[in-house]
Structure formats: structure tokens, C-alpha cells
Chain A
Amino acid sequence: DAGVIQSPRHEVTEMGQEVTLRCKPISGHDYLFWYRQTMMRGLELLIYFNNNVPIDDSGMPEDRFSAKMPNASFSTLKIQPSEPRDSAVYFCASSPGTSGGAIQETQYFGPGTRLLVL
């Protein structure tokens, strides 16, 4: 398996622009997670999905952030409008869930998208 795929790997944009981050989880995984990592706040869970349904979005900073999972193989995280304080590395991770047996809770991370908002 190719692992979790994220695109783009790097994004530089100007304040006020819309940013869309994409994620393809590992095939067969039931859970998908979006995280944000900064030096100041560490690794924060933004939202996670189970079988394409959002379960907990309490970590989403504000209404400017939205996430969707239209099918089992694709998810997007959108920031509109973007602000300089959104600059961070955004990770997508997936987990087998109940189909994973002994490793059901293990999370597999993508390489991340490094976002810089000027």
C-alpha cells in the first residue's frame, strides 16, 4: 500500500485566499484524522471521521475551517479565508478501526502539507 497520501506537500498563499488540503487514506481504513502541528501548540487534532461521517470536530479552530469526506478514499480540509496564524504543518492520518484486529487503534500518518500564509 502507498500509505496515506497528502497533497499538496507545500502551499504558500496570501492572507484571505482559500486553501484546500487533500488526503487519501489507506484503503480499508475506517477512521480518518486531520491534525495541525505548530511549534507553539504541538500536535492538535482538528477533526476525525468514522466511515466518512464526522465524529468530533471540536478541535476545528473556527468557522473558517471546514472538512469533508465524500467517500472512503478522499477527504479535504478547507480554510477560507486563510490567515497568517493558520501557517502550520497539516497532517492527515488513518486508522483501521474495528477491521484492524490487534492494530485497530494505530494511526498511519501522511507526510503532511506545510502551509505558509503570507
Chain B
Amino acid sequence: GAVVSQHPSWVICKSGTSVKIECRSLDFQATTMFWYRQFPKQSLMLMATSNEGSKATYEQGVEKDKFLINHASLTLSTLTVTSAHPEDSSFYICSARDKEGQGDYGYTFGSGTRLTVV
């Protein structure tokens, strides 16, 4: 089945630094990728939707200059958390949808990245 590889699995960084998270579709072309954030005991919250070759669409309240998304190819999307602060500590998960994913099974999740900003 479709596989999405996400890394790093976890990262600890100092406040003020930037962190890049990669999400790769391994055996399909991901025309659309989604980036979610999940705080402990809370729901997944969609941050942005990225389409290959175009600008990402950010959800209300998500700062596009802080969370930079690049979807330069059909198999790779990156999320860069710029000038990270402790309140950015969270679980970030990507999800990809392939060209053929028009039905209910189009979403495949990466394994997530646990970011801790100290």
C-alpha cells in the first residue's frame, strides 16, 4: 500500500532556531499533502494544505511566515518551523493524497515528528 515517510521522528532544538521536517511519498505521487499539528490529548489540527508546484493554503490562525511549506516535487513536501519557541513544541504529522486518491482511501499519514523546543 501507499507509504509516507516522515523524518525526523523526533527533534529537540533550542529556542530561536529553525527545524525542517520532511515528508516523502515512497511509492506514489502525492499531488496534495497536508500538515497537521497535535497537542497532547487534543485532536489533529490541520495547519496547511500544499499542492505540488503551488503555494500552500494555510488554515486560519496559522502563520505562513513561521511555518514554511515547500512542495517542490510530487514525492516531497517540507515543513520548516522558523524561529521555534517552546509553544511550538508539538507532534507534527503529514498526510499525503495521491492522484488516484479520489475515494475514501486517499489519505496516508507519515509517522509524525515530535518537536520539543527548549
Task: State yes or no: do A and B come from one complex.
Answer: no
Spell out A's residues near B (CB within 8 Å): none
Spell out B's residues near A (CB within 8 Å): none
